[in-house]
Structure 1
Amino acid sequence: MLSIGEFARLVGVSVRMLRHYDQLGLLRPDRVDPFTGYRSYAAVQLDEANRLVALKDLGFSLDEVGRLLADDDSSPRVAALLRARRDELMVSIEADRRRLHLVEARLRSIEKEHTVYVFIETDLPALRLVQLSARVREMADIETEIGPMFERVGAALDAAGVERRGPGVAVYTAVDDEVIAAAAEQIGDQPVPDGLERAEVAAAARALTVRYEADDLGGIQRTWQALVTEVDARGLRIAGPAREVYLEAPPESRRWVVDLQQPVA
């Protein structure tokens, strides 16, 4: 037998809460001394106590907890509820991680406002690509869209035994209030693997470019801002889809080396 204090410690609740559960009929002691009133619990009651606490932590009222515990199949049901709650928390954690990443990127952008960029005016070749694309309304969603798309494109190429004929390319095309973000690879005239689409990006006679080099992509938005600001400062205008050409990228490289290319006129 376990004293109420020992049982409370093992379950992770207070003695006061155990007395409250007893009063509500949710978790009766295995034995109550008729003379002292001391409560004792059996070790086999730990499972029931764990289910009770888990349901309470999930946000169920004590009345709902009582009904659930009275169910003969309470253990599988509680486990299913816990798995569902776990999945919700994982989604929430991932959303918080993305928000933290954006905050850190904004902070780096502010701290690097005086970065010196080297802009190059040049022409751009036409590109024959295979890609996956998605319409993105919220710009903060581009990063979460483009990475998985590149993984799927790469997996499709590898499965089909198709060789890459150049670095990976992200293409961003503005359409009204949305952006079509495409994750693409250069494969020349080789057959297009199932699930991918063929795309062509026209040559640009004039473009402004800048190279981004860093351990992560946290500062790439700021670099794009600097590039577009330079376009405006030179009296030019954007004249075509923006390109990101990934010259180096993890895991093959320890850092990112990306050419940001904006056709202009």
Structure 2
Amino acid sequence: MLSIGAFARLVGVSVRMLRHYDRLGLLVPARVDEFSGYRYYSPDQLDRANQLVALKDLGFSLDDVGRLLAEPQSSDLVAQMLRERRTALLEQMRTDEQRVRQVEARLRLIEKEVPMSEHTYVETDLPELRLVQLSARVTEMSQIESEIGPMFQRVNEAVERAGATRVGPGVAHYTGDGDELVAAAAEQVGEAPTPDGLEPARLAAAPRALTVRYTAPDLVGLPQAWQGLVREVERRDLTPAGTAREIYLATPYDGAGSGWDVDLQQPVE
């Protein structure tokens, strides 16, 4: 048998909390000394104690904890809920890490720690592109990242199902429409029929454009690269005139590398 203090240490709660659980009938001691009133617990009670603490940490009220622990398969139920909570926390961690990188990139942009002159800008023409795609209207720039990734996944799944052959790298393109921006995720499949669920699209050739390559392990610095490109357009006394393109020459999903190589292309006049 374990004293209440020893049991509290093993479970990771206070003695006061164990007494509270006892009063509520959630975790009753295996034995109470009739003379001293000291509470003693069995090692067999550790499983119930662990489930109780886990449910409480998941945000359940003690009333709900009691009902859940009364379920015949309470151990399996708690384990499943903990797995789901673990998945949610890991996703939140990834989201928070991404936000930290975005804040750092924005800070570098504001403080101009990475001079834009380090980029090499190339003036060139752009070919016509025949695409199959999915598109979405966005009003907030923060929506672009959350929209483009899933759309690319769905486009590629549709291309694979149709057995279509890609004739070039993936393309994201952006067109202003009033107060909104139309963002599209596309693949180049030439003259092949449009796979089910996708829309055909054509980007007209541009006789003049300014481009810059973005190469990095992630896409956090992409807005900074675009800002640099637009500043360079203005510096050269040019005007953006057409659909902005991102050509994904390499991505972490290709299997050949671990980073991104994206050609940013802005038609100008």
In structure 2, the CA distance between the partners of 1:58 and 1:133, relative to structure 1 (3 Å rule), is same
**Structure 2 residue 218 is the aligned partner of structure 1 residue 216:** yes
Match of 2:268 in 1: 264
User: What are the superposed Cα offsets for residues 109-139 of structure 1, whole Å, 9 maximum, x if unpaired?
Assistant: 4421354222222221211111122222221
TM-score where L is the length of structure 2:
0.84
Match of 2:11 in 1: 11
What amino acid maps onto 1:17 in structure 2? M
TM-score where L is the length of structure 1:
0.85
- Which of 248, 257, 260 is equivalent to 2:250? 248
Secondary structure of the 2:118 match is coil
Deviation at 1:144, TM superposition (A): 2.8
CA distance, structure 2, for counterparts of residue 45 and residue 220 of structure 1: 54
Match of 1:52 in 2: 52
Deviation at 1:39, TM superposition (A): 1.1
CA distance, structure 2, for counterparts of residue 158 and residue 68 of structure 1: 45
Contact (CA 8 Å) 2:116, 2:228: kept in 1 or not?
Answer: no
Question: Can you give the 5+ residue segments of structure 2 that lack an aligned partner in the other structure?
Answer: none
Contact (CA 8 Å) 2:214, 2:262: kept in 1 or not?
Answer: yes
Secondary structure of the 1:59 match is coil
**Structure 2 residue 136 is the aligned partner of structure 1 residue 134:** yes
CA distance, structure 2, for counterparts of residue 216 and residue 94 of structure 1: 13
In structure 2, the CA distance between the partners of 1:10 and 1:73, relative to structure 1 (3 Å rule), is same
Contact (CA 8 Å) 2:244, 2:267: kept in 1 or not?
Answer: yes
CA distance, structure 2, for counterparts of residue 74 and residue 63 of structure 1: 15
Match of 1:174 in 2: 176
User: What are the superposed Cα offsets for residues 191-215 of structure 1, whole Å, 9 maximum, x if unpaired?
Assistant: 2222221110111222221222233
CA distance, structure 2, for counterparts of residue 253 and residue 78 of structure 1: 40
Contact (CA 8 Å) 2:102, 2:221: kept in 1 or not?
Answer: no
- Which of 230, 238, 260 is equivalent to 1:236? 238
Match of 1:35 in 2: 35
What amino acid maps onto 2:261 in structure 1? V
What amino acid maps onto 1:238 in structure 2? P
% identity of equivalent residues: 63
What amino acid maps onto 1:37 in structure 2? G
